[in-house]
Structure 1
Amino acid sequence: MVTIPVRPSRALAQHLPSVRRATALVPAASRCRTAATVRYQWGRQTVSVPANPRTFSTSPSRPFKTDDVLQRTNTEFSPFSVEGKTAIVTGAGSGINYVFAKQLLERNCNVLLADLSLRPEAQALIYQYSARNGRTARAIFVKTDVVQWPDLDAVFTTADAEFGGAEIVCPGAGVYEPHWSNFWHPPGTARSHDSASPANGIGHYATLDINLTHPIRCTQLAISRWLNPPPTTAPRHMKATPANPKRIVHISSVAGQTPGFSTPLYQASKHAVSGLIRSLAPLDSLGIRVNGVAPGVIKTPLWTEHPEKLKMLDTNVDAWVEPEEVADAMVRCCEDEAVVGGWVLEVLKGTTRNVDWRNDPGPTGEGADASNRATTIAEVYQWLAEPGWGVPTKK
């Protein structure tokens, strides 16, 4: 352990020119218990950095920053394992969230799958993990429309009733700017399901309600329960503290780092989710870790069952990222002590890295993009050329 005094008013990197955070994430078992600690001594900030070359390196691609040790103030953090815990996962009826739920169950973590419906593989998962013998994890399904806040409340109350609460929350449900809630098909136009004249006068874009408002609300509900647990709560569901930690895992996207002319609502929602994750990093000090993943082009029904999206891909050139790679990173968000609060793990084909919030080079590996996006851009211009574009034709 090396201890380096620095001035609080200067950037940490200026005083640690040779210290760099390792880009590669290695198994938690090979690391020191905590990545770093921050404490104050007589007005001077002292950063204690583990002298472990597998945790820190001199790679110029990943500067060590004050944000990496945010809120590590005189605190011992208990190791976190998903085993024996309970997770709430929205959107778990298919795709990344289904695979994440499956991996949690395989690690003996109960899972509440919250979705509008279940694909056959998710139904099979519920059946497989339906036992109440106390020796295996249990899975239950709660039909949930994530834009309905009473439904979200019901998810948490069901978790309380069935499992005594949840230690992991993943508000993973999302849509990829379908035509029925799309910037280029404004509310009230033929293809849109968004109303131009809602009964209460309050307008909504379903894409934003699902992709952004729902994860914000789930995060609030989780924090509220963890800071104000019922008096009859079992010990492991008591108030969140560094000794009794909890986890919130969000799903952003590489779209949260890039522009996207054909899907501006989706891009905006994922930029916002990444901003939410980073903004809530200080909750780590209360034992509530908020982080997430930013996948590339994932082989899930979000792509494979939507021809309007598939035409962006050239299967001879573009690489798929497998959902198992993303789920692996989500488990690491829960368990890996080097993945601190506020981190957004970009997941491409065969690579996972933290996305710096300042001056990040952006996604560049395999699975980062679809090479035929020009076809959807041309389609947008065709829509804009239609007579009366954007003029509502229905309520």
Structure 2
Amino acid sequence: MEFKNKVALVTGGGTGIGKATSIALAKRGATVIVNYSRSEFDAEETVRLIKQEGGRAIAIQADVTQDKAVRNMIQAAVRQFGTVDLLVNNASITKHIPMDDLDSATEDVWDELFDVNVKGMFYCARAVAPFMKKNQQGAIVNLGSIAGQTGLGSSLPYAVSKAAVHGLTKSLARALAPEIRVNCIVPGAVVTRWWAGQEEQMKKLAPNLLLQRISTPDDIAHMICAALQQEAITGQMITVDSGQTL
């Protein structure tokens, strides 16, 4: 129970990697705050699954693109649980646009992806930092993507936004040291709803990976927990991609 008596916030915690991470943290003893923006049913279902196994969890709605909403969420969490010890910046979105279709990468697409994928992670980190500093310890994990390393992804703005997350991780690691560790888990292809409608593409990809398997949300969740626990690492990009980028 390595996270016993710890309070963990997982943004976008009701689905995919966020759901797996919320459950993994609860199994390791953490009290989990499952954040959601629109997926209330999924967030409440994740809370139910955690409580069913004897864990502690609540769901809190907040749009991470809104700084005030993020601050209110953290204040509500602190009122109920006293602090926030761990933050998993998981909430992310994408738009599926062919990489060479530059005209479809409109201002609205850029703004929406950067608001959620980059600024949202910054707002959450900034809001929890004072409480972690007060405790003289804390850990943050941001969710990046190999798209941010390779430049290839579901869209050009998405890939660039994830490269920005990798940069944000390094800058936050410097800004929040020594009390708070900040790392980034960088998944390759993962079996989530993002692949809906592209199952055939996924099946073709798997045999070409060194480990010949697509990562699962549980694979990523276990690595997130490991990064949160490891006290000698900060500012690092940790790739989990079955050898996809080798």
Kindly indicate which of the two structures has a greater share of residues assigned to helix: 2
Cα distance in 2, alignment partners of residues 166 and 254 from structure 1? 29
2:82 match: 164
1:124 correspondence with 2:6? no
TM-score where L is the length of structure 1: 0.54
Cα distance in 1, alignment partners of residues 55 and 206 from structure 2? 41
1:348 correspondence with 2:241? yes
1:138 correspondence with 2:20? no
Cα distance in 2, alignment partners of residues 183 and 102 from structure 1? 39
**Aligned to 2:72, which of 154, 168, 182?**
154
- The 3-state SS of whatever aligns with 1:177 is coil
- Aligned pairs for 1:69-88 (under 5 A) are 81-88=2-9
Query: Sequence identity of aligned pairs in percent?
Result: 25
- The 3-state SS of whatever aligns with 1:286 is coil
- The 3-state SS of whatever aligns with 1:124 is helix
Cα distance in 1, alignment partners of residues 206 and 163 from structure 2? 29
**Aligned to 2:215, which of 296, 301, 321?**
321
Are the equivalent residues in 2 in contact too, given 1:84–1:137 (CA < 8 A)?
A: no
Structure 2 stretches of 5 or more lacking a match? none
1:185 correspondence with 2:104? yes
1:258 match: 150
Does the C-alpha gap of structure 1 residues 261 and 333 become closer, same or farther in structure 2, counting only changes over 3 Å? closer
1:279 match: 171
- The 3-state SS of whatever aligns with 2:181 is strand
Give 1:140 shift. 0.6
**Aligned to 1:269, which of 136, 154, 161?**
161
- Aligned pairs for 1:369-380 (under 5 A) are none
- The 3-state SS of whatever aligns with 1:257 is helix
Letter aligned with residue 299 of structure 1 = V
Does the C-alpha gap of structure 1 residues 186 and 294 become closer, same or farther in structure 2, counting only changes over 3 Å? closer
**Aligned to 1:98, which of 14, 19, 26?**
19
- Aligned pairs for 1:1-395 (under 5 A) are 81-118=2-39, 122-130=43-51, 137-178=55-96, 184-187=103-106, 194=108, 205-227=111-133, 239-241=134-136, 245-260=137-152, 263-282=155-174, 285-303=177-195, 305=196, 307=197, 310=199, 312-313=201-202, 314=204, 317=207, 319-338=213-232, 340-349=233-242, 363-364=245-246
Q: Bigger radius of gyration, 1 or 2?
A: 1
- The 3-state SS of whatever aligns with 2:32 is strand
Does the C-alpha gap of structure 1 residues 109 and 184 become closer, same or farther in structure 2, counting only changes over 3 Å? farther
- The 3-state SS of whatever aligns with 1:91 is coil
Does the C-alpha gap of structure 1 residues 107 and 211 become closer, same or farther in structure 2, counting only changes over 3 Å? same
Aligned pair count?
237
Are the equivalent residues in 2 in contact too, given 1:277–1:291 (CA < 8 A)?
A: yes
Instruction: Give the number of the structure with larger relative contact order, counting CA–CA contacts within 8 Å between residues 6 or more apart.
Output: 2
Task: State the Cα deviation string for residues 204-223 of structure 1 (Å, max 9, x = none).
Answer: 62111111110011111122
Does the C-alpha gap of structure 1 residues 265 and 183 become closer, same or farther in structure 2, counting only changes over 3 Å? farther
